[in-house]
Structure 1
Amino acid sequence: MTVPVLPRLRARTLEAPPQPDLFDLLPPDVDPATVVSWVREGDGLIGWGRAAASTDDGMPSGPDRFTAAAQWWADLVEATDVVDEVNLPGTGLVAFGSFAFSPDSPDLGGLVVPRVVAGQRDGRAWVTSIEALDDAGQVSTQAGRSHTGATTVASGQGELADGIRLEPGAVAPEDWPRVIRRAIGRIEAGEVDKVVLARDVRAVADSPIDTVALLRRLAARYAATWTFAVDGLVGATPEMLVRLQEGRVRSRVLAGTVRRGGTPAPSVTEAHPELEDQHTPDPRLHLVSAAKELEEHAFAVRSVAEKLAPHCESLEVPEQPFVLELPDVYHLATDLSGRAADDATSLDLAAALHPSAAVCGTPFADAARLIDELEGMDRGRYAGPVGWLDASGDGDWGIALRCGQLAADALSMRLFAGGGIVSASDPDAELAETEVKLAAMRHALGLGS
């Protein structure tokens, strides 16, 4: 493999005033294709521009994609001068990343370092500028100037594209129950215990789809999720694959879904603890307590616990899930937490956890083969890890759910939704579940409430 030539960078983080809306910091002339995001209930990180990317250096795909990206990041951190006057998780040098679900996908994903990162948490805010340096240690004139954006409001952004319409993806909706019946037959034959199957829908527009418009609409309606964007992958995931901060490891597992009742859903649901507190027994568990949902959830929790345990001194796994309320659905959810036992970074932990039973199935290898056989599509980075990490290795990595992948020309977007299939699954109900899960991106595109 060719040894990549890394840029030499300088990252400087300064305190900044907190913002009512982080997206207001985006400059009016920002290239939407470079916008990155990780925002939840007003806090998080956004960025724009591009200072470096692991894919620029021909990083390998396949099963080595995580290891190669982690090494690239370690080398880049070593080659970067950092001045950090804030010293919080997400300050200093930061990379955003998203990775393919399958090692065989041509869309391998990787890490991106923006030119500017703005963040806030717990009432403190900051802006980080990242610049390329020449051999003399001076700011490179070839790198171009980057926007600081600390006081600039992005006027004119947030406009929906014209003439957006939905078209069938790889499998038409009316054919999806047949795919599910085939999967149930394979489960009953003993090939797998559970398999997670996904379908895609294509959104086509008459004008370019603006990443910023999608993010604003998702963050406003789905505030309790993590609103993300990396390299054209845009969504609002409710599932935290892993968080590593100051030696503490946390994960939120979702599996088991029911549609909300007939009453209108709130535009912003209840605030949810951000993986910090133990959850008490939830009286709404009867909403999501059918055998199918409980079985699906147990598989997912067990797969995460087994993969996290080698990296933790102790791992707390609640006996009972809680109910995560979102505008369209209720989810069974379990928060796991533990103390890190090794020097694994957040990216290393995400790689160890991917794919969990929540997005693949169990046993893993058999479920992955069945996905390749039945789905009829390449998932790309859907259901893969998405998030960020800083120079210390701390960071957040979610699972890329409730999302879409923009085409290079931004005139179309693939939307994805899936569900866990067990022997008790009902094919028609599984189709209905995917339609409910597509509601987030339909709303972002202005195609539904």
Structure 2
Amino acid sequence: MSLSDPVRPGHRPAPSLVVRSRPADDVSEALMDHLPDGTGLAWVRRGEGHVGWGAAAKLEVAGSNRFAEAQAWWKDLVAGAVVRDEVGVPGSGLVCFGSFGFTDADPSELVVPEVIVGRRGGTAWVTTISPASALPPPPELTRYEPEPVGQVAFADGSRSGTDWSGIVADAVRRITAGELDKVVLARDLIALAPEPIDLRWPLRQLAAAYPNCWTFSVDGLIGATPELLVRREKGLITSRVLAGTIRRTGDDAHDLALAASLARSSKDLEEHEFAVRSVADALEPHCKSMNVPETPFVLHLPNVMHLASDVAGVAANGASALGLAAALHPSAAVCGTPTDVARDLIGEIEGMSRGRFSGPVGWMDAAGDGEWCIALRCGQADPADPTRMRLFAGAGIVAGSDPEAELAETNAKLVPMRDALGD
């Protein structure tokens, strides 16, 4: 088995890797420019972050122990690595990218690239990662220009919009009957391109249009998510919770009025409260102290506005960023309340496999610091048909939800990926 071969649960070799991060002065302001093809890895926000390609090591897992399996594998790999980090900023040194399925049955993975190009706080670097027996020279950085996708057609995914609205109505009836408080229901849309989709094109479009979101790419799952599940950095833990959404009109005065109505909406405030409470409860055992805002603020994005709360805490134990993500997933923002009841209802009525949509996606370093977001505003490339992608969106359903309004909300959340695939 080579170091880049997938690793199955129960078999976690600890490859001996040599890692070197060096400062670089030829890194593009647009990190995506350096990706040599559409299979690369990416984590970029506001022009900072890192991209990578190749696979020095890779783990594929599934099942109820997938997070524990991944953490054990990463711990073994870190212990066997020789690291020379001449940069010393978050994201330099030994780093893995990862993406986890929404359910236990959905595939999950961690990937250690062969090359990482990063930029943070005015510092740019290149990291090379290889087996101890092969020490490649630093790569010459090249800038690439991806081809536009072309005219894309869209088709219903697992269900039509009308059918999905009926599912929402069913969920509202169950909530009103007292079976649960909230459930998050998702739908998919199929994008069909005339030629194979070069994922670098939509990635660049997303990073440019949504700079305040985290633009990501892991094994064909790409998107620009506004929701930070958890960040751990030098003992500080933070999480951004989004729940409660309204579509923007493009008229600034009207949008300000809509933002004010969102901040007063009892339906959206109720949905947001469930989400914040689930995050705070999950993080509390891992924090010495916590700050949980009493009221949310309105986060303005180009296509929608969200009720948002930033939860912060001081780490009380050695839980890694991935360990914290495991404790948080699935939060009420992507599943519902109570969690078990909502998860069962999703499996019963949603009618599709989410795959890695709404699961944790992000990165982690050798010290366990890193960032994990929720994979939202995203699409999954079809490995069997490179002209095809599944796009995803979801909405939180509570007692006051209106099915047609929730359908409109999912249409607004599909806009980033739909636009990114266009010229």
Global fold match (TM > 0.5): yes
Instruction: Please tell me whether the aligned partners of residues 308 and 353 of structure 1 are also in contact (alpha carbons under 8 angstroms).
Output: yes
Aligned partners of 1:194 and 1:149: how far apart in 2?
51
| CA distance in 1 between partners of 2:249 and 2:391 (Å) | 24
**Which residue does the alignment assign to 2:6?**
none
The 8 Å contact of residues 99 and 109 in structure 2, kept in 1 or not, is answered as yes
**Rounded Cα–Cα distance in structure 1 between residues aligned with 2:258 and 2:250:** 19
What is the match of residue 296 of structure 2?
321
How many residues align? The count is 411
* C-alpha contact (below 8 Å) 1:236/1:403 kept by paired residues: yes
Amino acid aligned to 2:73: W
Residue ranges of structure 1 left out of the alignment (5+ in a row)? 140-144, 266-281
Root mean square deviation, CA, Å: 1.9
Match of 1:364 in 2: 339
Structure 1 residues 130-279: aligned runs within 5 Å = 130-134=129-133, 138-139=134-135, 148-150=139-141, 152-154=142-144, 156-157=145-146, 159-263=147-251
- Give the match for residue 430 of structure 1: 406
1:389 aligns with 2:351: no
How far did residue 121 of structure 1 move?
A: 1.3
SS at the partner of 2:99? strand
Report deviation, 1:290.
1.0
Tell whether the 8 Å contact from 1:249 to 1:340 is kept in structure 2 after alignment.
Answer: yes
Aligned twin of 1:271: none
Q: 1:438 is paired with a residue of what secondary structure?
A: helix
2:241 corresponds to which letter in structure 1? V
Give 1:301 shift. Answer: 0.2
> In structure 2, what is the equivalent of residue 32 of structure 1?
38
Matched AA of 2:68: T
- Matched-pair contact (CA < 8 Å) for 1:96–1:388: yes
Query: How far does residue 284 in structure 1 lie from its aligned partner after superposition?
Result: 4.6
Aligned twin of 1:83: 84
Asked whether the equivalents of residues 49 and 146 of structure 1 are also in contact (C-alpha less than 8 Å), the reply is: no
Within 1, Cα distance between the matches of 2:10 and 2:415? 44
1:437-448 alignment runs, 5 A limit: 437-446=413-422
Q: Distance in 2 between matches of 1:177 and 1:229?
A: 30
**C-alpha displacement of 1:89:** 1.2
**Code of the aligned partner of 2:417:** M
Q: Distance in 2 between matches of 1:287 and 1:431?
A: 17
The answer to whether structure 1 residue 311 and structure 2 residue 319 are counterparts is no
Partner Cα distance (2:172, 2:262) in 1: 24
**TM norm structure 2:** 0.93
Q: Deviations over 1:367-414 (max 9, x none)?
A: 000001111000000000000000000000000000000011422111
Query: Aligned with 2:65: secondary structure?
Result: helix
Counterpart of 1:4 (choices 12, 21, 26) is: 12
Secondary structure at the aligned position of 1:62 is classed as coil
Where 1:435 maps in the other structure, the secondary structure is helix
The answer (yes or no) to whether the contact 1:163–1:207 under 8 Å persists in 2 is: no
In the TM superposition, residue 170 of structure 1 has moved relative to its aligned partner by 0.5
Shift of 1:84: 0.2
Aligned position for 2:69 = 68
What percentage of aligned pairs have identical amino acids?
A: 53
Q: What is the distance in 1 between the residues matched to 2:353 and 2:274?
A: 24
- The structure-2 alpha-carbon separation of the partners of 1:31 and 1:286, relative to structure 1 and needing over 3 Å to count, comes to same
Please tell me whether the aligned partners of residues 405 and 414 of structure 1 are also in contact (alpha carbons under 8 angstroms). yes
> Does the 8 Å contact 2:37/2:198 carry over to 1?
no
User: Is residue 417 of structure 2 the alignment partner of residue 412 of structure 1?
Assistant: no
Matched, 1:22 2:12: no
Deviation, 1:31, is: 3.4
- Confirm or deny: 8 A CA contact 2:43 2:215 kept in the other structure: yes
The residue that corresponds to 1:274 in the other structure is: none
Q: Secondary structure at the match of 2:411?
A: helix
2:5 aligns with: none
Note closer, same or farther for the CA distance 1:211–1:248 as it changes in structure 2 (3 Å cut): same
Q: Corresponding residue for 1:268?
A: none
Choose from 39, 47, 51 the match for 2:52.
Answer: 47
* Closer/same/farther in 2, CA of residues 370 and 2 from structure 1, 3 Å limit: closer
Amino acid at match of 1:153: R
Cα displacement (A) at 1:262: 4.3
Q: How far does the alpha carbon of each residue in 1:180-234 deviate from its partner, in whole angstroms, 9 at most, with x for none?
A: 1000011011111000000001111221111111110000101110000001100
Is this contact kept in 1: 2:245–2:262, CA < 8 A?
no
Q: Is the 2:214–2:226 contact (alpha carbons within 8 Å) kept by the matching residues of 1? A: yes
> Do the aligned residues in 2 keep the contact of 1:388 with 1:395 (CA within 8 Å)?
yes
TM-score (norm 1): 0.88
